[in-house]
Amino acid sequence: MASTKHKTIELDPSSTQSKIHKLEYVYGEDLIHIQAIVDDIQQVRPQTYLDPAEYKPALCYTSILWDEDINKDNEPTIEDIDKMVLRLDHSSWKLAEYTLCDGGYC
């Protein structure tokens, strides 16, 4: 039985426009799992009569479909994935459970 190649890439969120923290995919599948820092997604203070609601960035996750099954010949680049992630709106993301470890997320 042939083994499937599972690829995980961890990035510094400031290295991409969409602040990707981590992405994962499997050769032979068309789904890419992404963790990223999403701006203004987590409410930290509700709206009051005098002030609007206040939001902050948070670590979130989502999955995107690639055009075709991923293999070594059509493996997406980080730039390709970054472009697709930039088109997502807030409804595409779910807040991730995380802890802060040594200045990063774990």
Cα-Cα end-to-end distance for the chain: 33
Q: Could you give the residue ranges of the DSSP H alpha helices within the chain?
A: 78-86
| Residue 1 vs residue 75, higher pLDDT | 75
* Cα-only R_g, the chain: 16
Do the beta carbons of residue 106 and residue 99 sit within 8 Å? yes
| pLDDT tens profile 5-48 | 889 899 999 999 999 999 999 999 999 999 999 999 999 999 99
Q: What CA dihedral angle connects 60, 61, 62 and 67, to 10 degrees?
A: 110
pTM (global) more than 0.85 = no
